[in-house]
Chains A and B, each alone.
Chain A
Amino acid sequence: MPRDRPDRTAAFHRTHFSELLIADTIRAIEQAGPLADEVEMREAFGTASARETRLLVRARLLGHRLSLDRELLRWREAALAATFALTLLAFLTAYGTAAAIIGSGRTINAVTAFFALLGMPTLTLAIWAVAAASGGSGLFGHLSFGNLLLGLLARLPGERNPHALTMAQSAHGLLQRARLLPWAFGAVSHAVWAAAFVLLLAALWFAFSFQQYRLTWETTILDAEFFVRFVTFTGALPHWLGFPLPDAATLIEPGAPGGDHRAWAWWLIGCAFVYGLLPRAVLGILSWAMYKRGVRRLHLDTADPYYRKLLARFDELEQSRVVDPERRAPSDHAAAVRASGETSAARAVVGFELPSELAWPLSGLAQADLLERIAGAGSERRALLDQLAGLRPRVLLVICHAASSPDRGTERFLREAARQAGQTALLLVASENATASGARRWQDWLAQSDLSHIACFTDAAQAAAWMEAAHG
């Protein structure tokens, strides 16, 4: 039976940080030019509705196409290997230090051992503190172990993704912008140091348990009082936690028989515990917590022009839907124009829905048998149509306001009025500085509404000439 080969990307566990990292990497890649993302845009639009989620889904899909998730998986495996190597290194360091302290002889110089144990770790701790205080940028940030690791990851041998370096830079930038760099790198380095101290303490405990040592101090220029003060001072904190402190007699005369070497040894173990392990463990946990908290708060910077552009594109994908479609009503108006034989010789000039400030009657159009203007109320319309029906004018000129929008109410009136007249024309009057587009709108509308037999004028003199001609 053929076994399915496990899909490597299926094993990829997505975290909030990995999502953001891939999004930022895609952003960096697209600085050089946009990726073809029509499919991804649509899919992201369909699967998510929140703005930020859409951006993340789009990036995830593009990242999958560019195998960024595979690369990230590779990084994780490499990081696991690195952790193993580091633990090994920590063990070797611990072993080496322990060997240096315990040495070959049975006499241990307690103060030298103290500095050998705590000197290097304290120095690196101070460097980390400075880097943390400067927010991870600056010289110490560049020199940090984490930064080197990141660069190393991007240059991992093997099947390397062409965008690996970009991704490493993105990771660095992302952490730096969020001021998480010292915490992220700190969590790793503190954990390594803590592991080293655990091993070291175990080695010390083992050595002191099963072998007899004499702890002492040596000096050329200092007096005994200094060592008494040094040991009491450094031992105060471990003593407070329950570690025994050697008595003054043993301290002043470490070589004397009956000296309390057990207390001496416990002082050394206590100091390694309190000044070595404890701060690393506490800071490691703190760094981890700070990193976790920071990552949880991390969001895409949606005010970034790049993301705003994408959001504007997502907005354009937003669909509207027709909920009540158009059903064209059957046209019930058959344009019936009266034959001229049935009409009287009268002329009618009618103003329809004109603005009140317009001078009436219009100059040059005052000579008519019916000269009327209405605002368009139902009763007015009926009265006017009745008048027209009684008069049956040969020519009818309807005057409308060019700037107003033609509508079906106007169409109804025009149709019914034209039915009572021999020939009908429309004159559009404009208030001052009106545009020609208003008149064109009316002309188009006439043509569309099967009213093209109605002539349309924009000039009163032309309309007057038409009336003369039509009247005959």
Chain B
Amino acid sequence: MAEPILIAVVGHTNAGKTSLLRTLTRHVTFGEVSDRPGTTRHVEAIDLKVDGAPAVRFFDTPGLEDAVTLAEYMKALQDCATPPERVRAFLAGPEARAAFEQEAKVLRKMLEVEAGIYVIDTREPVLPKFRAEIEILTWCARPIMPVLNFVRDPHSRSQEWLATLAAYNLHACVQFDAIAPFVGSERQLYQDLGTLLRERRAELARVVEDLEFQRRERQAAGCRIVAELLVSMAALRRPIAQEDFAAAHRREKFIRAFREDVLKSSRRAIDDLLAVYGFRSEDVDTAVLPWLDGRWEDDLFNPETLRDASRKLGTGAAVGGAIGLAADIAFAGLSLGAGTALGAALGGIASQGWGQFGRRLSNKLRGVQELTLENEVLFVLAVQMLTLLAALEQRGHAAQGKMTVASATESDEALKPLVAALQPARSHPDWASGGSGDARRLRLLDIVGAQLARMLQAHGL
């Protein structure tokens, strides 16, 4: 493979250079990101690899902090026929190691690379210092791709910036928000770089292709995790002896254990999702926070939430209704075969298979009750997992600050068929664990996973 494309990431201090690189390289721990100005004081290289081989080598540079003075200093330099010579003269001079050491690092790198990505915090007003920055960077005579950061911020001044950039002949630029949804910007960045670096176009196209492939695979994995959880939970079925069921405290204990199992499986799925998306629990991300601090757990068996879900599912006030336990809040979300009744409404009795009748008959004879999760719980679980999945899909890795939770909560119409598709699992208690290699279970996982993927894609993810 050819040499990697060398690209320097430059910009004013605190514009979000390191954050951008974290997002671009999917490397959560790269560099140091903080609010403090001048956090990065050295030049650090990181590769973006396409199937093991470095395709793009990014250089994270220190911020340009004193461009106004530097520009005046450089303009005063004598005997410089061209702008790059002026830059070289400055780098050879004494101030490149003294007052402007940090800026010298940036310019030295700019002369070595094939292109520069100029990161702009668009919340800043266009001041003379920024114009001086742009001027100095253009002196390096390298193609520059401006990246407008924080464009979604209410204080963003993108239009002012676009006009200023155009005045310096920088017409192509990418809008980007390091801490908010990022889908699509990355692709555009590489495509636009392709117009600046024509001879590197094929390589950049390959990068785009690989990123897209990775994204699809990540998404497929995420959908599979959620599908696995939903199918297992739909299949979950616990027998309880009639006399245990009659004794309140024993029943309560049983129900608590049942719910704890559901929560445990869900927690495992959440951990898996976070791991697949390379999310570390130290990363503070408000969009993901509800799944880190366990807030979602309170929702899952909350009678209010379930009643709401019941309304959305169109099953009426059926929470626990089938066995006359509607008033028993402690029982919310679990039912004695009521899932079957609802399942009949949703998926048709045939879709659950006929094996259940034999089992129910034998249970009846043995005096055993069976508890299952109601469809409302599956519904709420599906909403929770989809929202998390969407949040993970959307977040750039740099999310350091707060971000408004763009709730990707599915429209109820899309979720109804999903819950219906889960019904066949109800008649296979053995499907509750992942160990079951039943081909029909695998097929159901594929179906549910595909439905989830379609829902995400409907949101442009």
Contact = CB atoms under 8 A, between A and B. Distances in A.
A312 B124 CA distance: 35
B143 interface: no
B269 to A, nearest CB: 9
B99 A309 contact: no
Contact of A378 (B71, B97, B155): B71
B155 A308 contact: no
A49 B49 contact: yes
A327 B101 contact: yes
A326 B68 contact: no
Contact of B275 (A51, A309, A325): A309
A316 B27 CA distance: 6
B129 A353 contact: yes
Nearest to B280: A316
A313 B228 CA distance: 22
Given A31-B435, A51-B51, A323-B44, A316 B28 contact: yes
A416 B223 CA distance: 60
Contacts of A312: 275-278
B151 to A, nearest CB: 16
B31 A320 contact: yes
Nearest to B100: A329
Interface stretch (A78-86, A258-266, A268-276, A297-305): A297-305
A378 B27 contact: no
Contact of B63 (A48, A327, A407, A445): A407
A380 B68 CA distance: 11
Nearest to B224: A305
B224 A375 contact: no
Contacts of B31: 320
A445 B12 CA distance: 16
B125 A315 contact: no
A453 interface: no
A351 B278 CA distance: 45
A406 B12 CA distance: 10
A318 B125 contact: no
Given A309-B275, A320-B44, A324-B42, A315 B218 contact: no
Contact of B276 (A309, A316, A409): A309
Contacts of A326: 41-42
B36 A322 contact: no
B402 to A, nearest CB: 9
A309 B217 CA distance: 11
Contacts of B123: 403
Contact of B278 (A48, A316, A406): A316
B355 interface: no
B47 A308 contact: no
Q: Which of A169, A304, A324 has the most CB of B within 10 A?
A: A324
Nearest to A318: B27
A9 B65 CA distance: 61
Given A309-B276, A377-B68, A48 B52 contact: yes
A405 B434 CA distance: 52
B109 A409 contact: no
Contacts of A431: 155
A373 B28 CA distance: 42
A431 B221 CA distance: 44
Given A48-B52, A312-B276, A323 B218 contact: no
B195 interface: no
Contacts of B45: 320-323
Interface string B196-230: 00000000000000000000111011101100100
B12 A305 contact: no
Q: How many B residues touch the partner, as a band?
A: 35 or more
Interface string B30-64: 11000111100111111101011100000110010
B35 A409 contact: no
B29 A316 contact: yes
A279 interface: no
Interface string B68-101: 1101100000000000000000000000011101
B69 to A, nearest CB: 6
Contact of B36 (A50, A137, A375, A445): A445
A376 B129 contact: yes
B17 interface: no
Given A137-B439, A303-B224, A407-B13, A378 B46 contact: no
Interface in B279-337: none
A234 interface: no
Given A53-B52, A323-B43, A409-B69, A441 B36 contact: yes
B127 A353 contact: yes
Contact of A409 (B43, B53, B129, B220): B129
A406 B13 CA distance: 8
Interface residues of A, number: 57
B5 to A, nearest CB: 16
Given A49-B49, A318-B27, A322-B43, A305 B127 contact: no
A455 B97 CA distance: 32
A408 B52 contact: no
B460 interface: no
A318 B48 CA distance: 10
Contacts of A173: 437
A262 B67 CA distance: 106
Contacts of A103: none
Nearest to B43: A324
A433 to B, nearest CB: 8
Contacts of B72: 378
Given A308-B276, A322-B44, A437 B437 contact: no
B415 to A, nearest CB: 22
Nearest to A310: B275
Contact of A408 (B65, B105, B222): B65
B51 A376 contact: no
B121 interface: yes
A49 B41 CA distance: 30
Given A304-B224, A308-B218, A318 B68 contact: no
Contacts of B27: 315-316, 318, 320
A356 interface: yes
Interface in B16-34: 25-31
A248 B461 CA distance: 77
B128 interface: yes
A412 interface: yes
Contact of B217 (A302, A315, A323, A437): A302
Contact of B35 (A51, A320, A401, A441): A441
Interface in A167-215: 169, 173
B187 interface: no
A405 B14 contact: yes
A444 interface: yes
Interface string A26-43: 000001000000000000
A377 B128 contact: yes
Contact of B99 (A51, A53, A329, A353): A329
Interface in A2-39: 31
B125 A405 contact: no
Contacts of A31: 434-435
Interface in B387-445: 434-435, 437, 439
Contacts of A308: 217-218, 221, 275-276
Interface in A386-407: 401, 403-407
29 contacts: A31-B434, A303-B221, A305-B224, A308-B275, A309-B272, A312-B276, A313-B275, A316-B278, A318-B46, A320-B44, A320-B60, A321-B44, A321-B45, A322-B45, A323-B44, A324-B108, A325-B42, A353-B129, A356-B125, A378-B68, A378-B128, A404-B125, A405-B13, A405-B37, A407-B14, A407-B63, A408-B65, A409-B65, A409-B69
Closest 9 CB pairs of A and B: A49-B52, A324-B43, A405-B14, A408-B65, A377-B128, A50-B52, A320-B46, A312-B278, A308-B221
Interface of B: 12-15, 25-31, 35-38, 41-47, 49, 51-53, 59-60, 63, 65-69, 71-72, 97-99, 101-102, 105, 108-109, 121, 123-125, 127-129, 132, 155, 216-218, 220-222, 224-225, 228, 272, 275-278, 434-435, 437, 439
